[in-house]
Amino acid sequence: MDNNILNTSIEYLKGVGPKRADLLRTELNIYRFRDLLNYFPFRYVDRSKTIQVKDISESLGNVQILVKITNIQELGQHRKKRLLVTAFDASGTVQLVWFKGVKWIKSAIKIGEQYVVFGKPNFYGGTLNFNHPEIELEEKNKNKEGNLQPVYHSTEKLSSFGLQSKGIENLMRNLLPQVLNFIPQTLSQRIEKKNHFPSINNAFANIHFPKDKNMLKKSIIRLKYEELFFLQLGMNRQKLNTRKKSKGYVFKEVGDNFNKFFKDYLPFELTNAQKRVVKEIRKDLGLGSHMNRLLQGDVGSGKTLVAVLTILLSIDNGFQACLMAPTEILANQHFKTIENFLNPLGINIALLTGSVKKSDRKIIHESLENGSLNILVGTHALLEDKVKFKNLGLAIIDEQHRFGVAQRAKLWKKNHYPPHVLVMTATPIPRTLAMTFYGDLNVSVIDELPPGRKPINTIHRFDSSRLKVFQFIEDEIKKGHQVYIVYPLIEESEKLDYKDLMDGYESIVRRFPLPNYNVSIVHGKMKPEAKDYEMSQFVAGKTQIMVATTVIEVGVDVPNASLMIIESAEKFGLSQLHQLRGRVGRGADKSYCILMSGYKLSNEAKIRIETMVRTNDGFEISEQDLKIRGPGDVMGTQQSGVLDFKLADLAKDGQLVQLAKIDVDELIALDSNISSLENQSIKKELIRQMKLKPNWSNIS
């Protein structure tokens, strides 16, 4: 039993009692002393810094002033009621306005007293206004520890029971002296020393009541670090456990096929990133446990070749391999590429999709079962029960996000042990996320493009320049190139978007008529066969323009396409824009991406478009995406709970993530079971935290 004082029910803290305890529980999830201790200020007010009213300008943002109240006026009735307070300092007068909590504020302030007022001023009708500022009696602020006063989030309910920020601060002052000496160690002395961290109790004392800015900064860093350290350590442990539990086939050999292909038929030298990733995969496959690896690489980074080499490892070790793609077009494309690569080696490969004839299917089924077929490429047709392998050792899945977890699980059942799984995705996950999430254990990243790639020139144009853009399309087609024009299709406004698409299509056909031009169209409402037909016309170069919704987002490879036009670009998310742009720039010619939009753009849309124009780097884009949307949305909501940090911010604290990762790796290298005496505090804290956290889900 852990009877540490930190576990005491919050009700028993001086100043709380049953009613406030109830509110603290329901409003802030504060149940015990520990929870309150971990309820951190969200900012600090430097009480030493006030400015004069005459120096205020709107551009300063939040300011703090020291003023005396001269008049308090209640105006309006019922819901339109507001409180108008006039106050001044030696240099000028301000108006303080409240629309909510009028009664309460009115009773709490007095004419003639000196107040510290904090808020964002605005000029309204010639007077200087503060709407809903923070206000506090001046003398109460004389604060012993320094000039930084903590500000805590509160709620309306809590405020009405005296627990506004100031009230919470008072509770904290009661709490700290009681608990400071009983806060358990969390890190080892070695880690504390190495990183020049303040001690744990110093960190807690200073995050609530900072001695000075420097100590505050150090304390926040330590506490953020702890969040990141224990998350990564926990991930690391968990991965190790699953790894121990799930057996897999051992691919010991690097055999004839691999070597021969590598020596004689490799069409180009591997990039360093490809080499590193192949090494990581090889190591994984030799361990005797089941491989479940995510291969992440920007569009065009050369994932297919890595897949081919992995397939050869499987074949050399006596196992079959399969590759599954989300669409028929993609499956076709992979089939052709891989067949080309492996033709000289005499390896048998087949394609299985929905449109393969029954008689051909039968042959495929048979040769799979008798083992004469080495590689099967296809769509989810591979998942059917009829598809039985003699000895499936490896399953590669392209473009992960198109498949559901249940579908992938089916693959696992295709052999005695589950086949090794390699999931390839072109949606880069920001490095910081990948690190914290996967503990780096089974993610491989191709972070380098093959040499000689020309960056795609990205341009933003308003709808009013459409005629010029049409001219540009014509010029590109004259050069023998092909063009994509993509329209958004967003579920909420599906009808409208669909109309936009059809209108757009018609105006394109009018501007680029037969017989000189052929225009294809692909959208979600078409039958799969019709879609595939249109797509294959474009792939074969029989049509010059492809008008489409985002269905073409994934994977299609038409090297002759040099221009991507994205209509209503403001409606797309960053990663989607990047995926779409990745459809061009695959051939030898200079490629372009034109983002079309109206004049009215939200701030976020502006940032997205600017980011696209500025960079081609998928990782930079994903980091930006993380900044705009936050980790939960970038990863998909199912996993967001894991990333609910109190202090750390994955978008901003990349360096700390990295530092914590290095320390976790070092810890594991030195003391793999975390059993040494000096690491006992780490072990205890880890066990405590792992009991609280939800389970992280596996990749596949």
Q: Applying CB under 6 A, which residues contact ligand ADP?
A: 268, 270-271, 274, 297, 299-305, 426, 450, 557
Binding at 305: pick from Mg ion, ligand ADP, none (beta carbon under 5-8 Å per type): ligand ADP
Total residues in contact with Mg ion, by rule CB under 5 A:
1
CB of 422 to ligand ADP, least distance (A): 13
Binding at 109: pick from Mg ion, ligand ADP, none (beta carbon under 5-8 Å per type): none
Binding at 356: pick from ligand ADP, Mg ion, none (beta carbon under 5-8 Å per type): none
Whether the CA torsion 578, 580, 581, 587 is positive or negative: it is positive
User: What track of x and - describes contact with Mg ion for positions 209 through 248 (by CB under 5 A)?
Assistant: ----------------------------------------
Helix (H, G, I), strand (E, B) or coil at 248: coil
Angle among Cα 671, 674, 675 to the nearest 5 degrees reads 95
User: What track of x and - describes contact with Mg ion for positions 500 through 539 (by CB under 5 A)?
Assistant: ----------------------------------------
CA distance 442 to 438: 7
CB of 304 to ligand ADP, least distance (A): 3
DSSP element (H, E) containing 546: strand 545-548
Of residues 183, 176, 177, the one with CA closest to residue 226: 183
Residue 15 tokens read as 């100043």
The residue (of 304 and 679) whose beta carbon lies closer to ligand ADP is: 304
The residue (of 224 and 578) whose beta carbon lies closer to ligand ADP is: 578
Binding at 271: pick from ligand ADP, Mg ion, none (beta carbon under 5-8 Å per type): ligand ADP
Binding at 302: pick from Mg ion, ligand ADP, none (beta carbon under 5-8 Å per type): ligand ADP
The residue (of 16 and 556) whose beta carbon lies closer to ligand ADP is: 556
Binding at 186: pick from ligand ADP, Mg ion, none (beta carbon under 5-8 Å per type): none
Cβ distance 324 to 396 under 8 Å? Answer: yes
Cβ distance 411 to 338 under 8 Å? Answer: no
Q: Which of residues 550-589 bind Mg ion (CB under 5 A)?
A: 555
N residues, the chain: 700
CB of 446 to ligand ADP, least distance (A): 7
Q: CB neighbours (10 Å) of residue 195?
A: 17
Per-residue H/E/C for 452-499: CCCCCEEEEEEHHHHHHHHHHHHHHHHCCCEEEEECCCCHHHHHHHHH
Distances from the Cα of 547 to the Cα of 428, 464, 520, angstroms: 26, 20, 6
CB of 340 to ligand ADP, least distance (A): 10
CB of 301 to Mg ion, least distance (A): 9
CB of 538 to ligand ADP, least distance (A): 17
**Which DSSP category does 247 fall into?**
B
The residue (of 54 and 453) whose beta carbon lies closer to ligand ADP is: 453
Binding at 378: pick from ligand ADP, Mg ion, none (beta carbon under 5-8 Å per type): none
The residue (of 255 and 587) whose beta carbon lies closer to ligand ADP is: 587
Q: Which of residues 277-296 bind Mg ion (CB under 5 A)?
A: none
CA distance 487 to 549: 5
Region binding Mg ion by CB under 5 A among candidate stretches 458-466, 528-536, 537-545, 549-557: 549-557
Binding at 123: pick from Mg ion, ligand ADP, none (beta carbon under 5-8 Å per type): none
Binding at 450: pick from Mg ion, ligand ADP, none (beta carbon under 5-8 Å per type): ligand ADP
Q: CB neighbours (10 Å) of residue 494?
A: 12
CA distance 36 to 150: 14
CB of 330 to Mg ion, least distance (A): 8
The residue (of 136 and 557) whose beta carbon lies closer to ligand ADP is: 557
Binding at 326: pick from ligand ADP, Mg ion, none (beta carbon under 5-8 Å per type): none
CB of 409 to ligand ADP, least distance (A): 24
CA distance 593 to 616: 11
CB of 97 to ligand ADP, least distance (A): 56
DSSP element (H, E) containing 574: helix 574-581
Which residues contact residue 502 at a Cβ distance below 8 angstroms, ignoring those fewer than 6 apart? none
CB of 303 to Mg ion, least distance (A): 5
Residue 595, Cβ density class (10 Å: 0-12 exposed, 13-18 middle, ≥19 buried): buried
Closest-by-Cβ residue to ligand ADP is 302
Closest-by-Cβ residue to Mg ion is 555
> Per DSSP, which regions of 99-228 are E strands?
114-119, 121-124, 127-131, 134-137, 148-151
CA distance 574 to 605: 9
Which residues contact residue 4 at a Cβ distance below 8 angstroms, ignoring those fewer than 6 apart? 182, 184
The residue (of 84 and 270) whose beta carbon lies closer to Mg ion is: 270
The residue (of 430 and 555) whose beta carbon lies closer to Mg ion is: 555
Binding at 270: pick from ligand ADP, Mg ion, none (beta carbon under 5-8 Å per type): ligand ADP
The residue (of 232 and 304) whose beta carbon lies closer to ligand ADP is: 304
Q: CB neighbours (10 Å) of residue 619?
A: 17
Binding at 290: pick from Mg ion, ligand ADP, none (beta carbon under 5-8 Å per type): none
CA distance 582 to 588: 14
Binding at 300: pick from ligand ADP, Mg ion, none (beta carbon under 5-8 Å per type): ligand ADP
Of residues 700, 431, 462, the one with CA closest to residue 594: 462
The residue (of 428 and 555) whose beta carbon lies closer to Mg ion is: 555
Cβ distance 349 to 335 under 8 Å? Answer: yes
The residue (of 90 and 266) whose beta carbon lies closer to Mg ion is: 266
CB of 654 to ligand ADP, least distance (A): 24
Binding at 182: pick from Mg ion, ligand ADP, none (beta carbon under 5-8 Å per type): none
The residue (of 70 and 272) whose beta carbon lies closer to ligand ADP is: 272
DSSP element (H, E) containing 88: strand 82-89
Q: Based on DSSP, count helices (H) and strands (E) in the chain, helices before strands.
A: 24, 22
Locus of tokens 């967001």? 640
The residue (of 210 and 555) whose beta carbon lies closer to Mg ion is: 555
The residue (of 191 and 308) whose beta carbon lies closer to Mg ion is: 308
Name the site residues for Mg ion (rule: CB under 5 A).
555
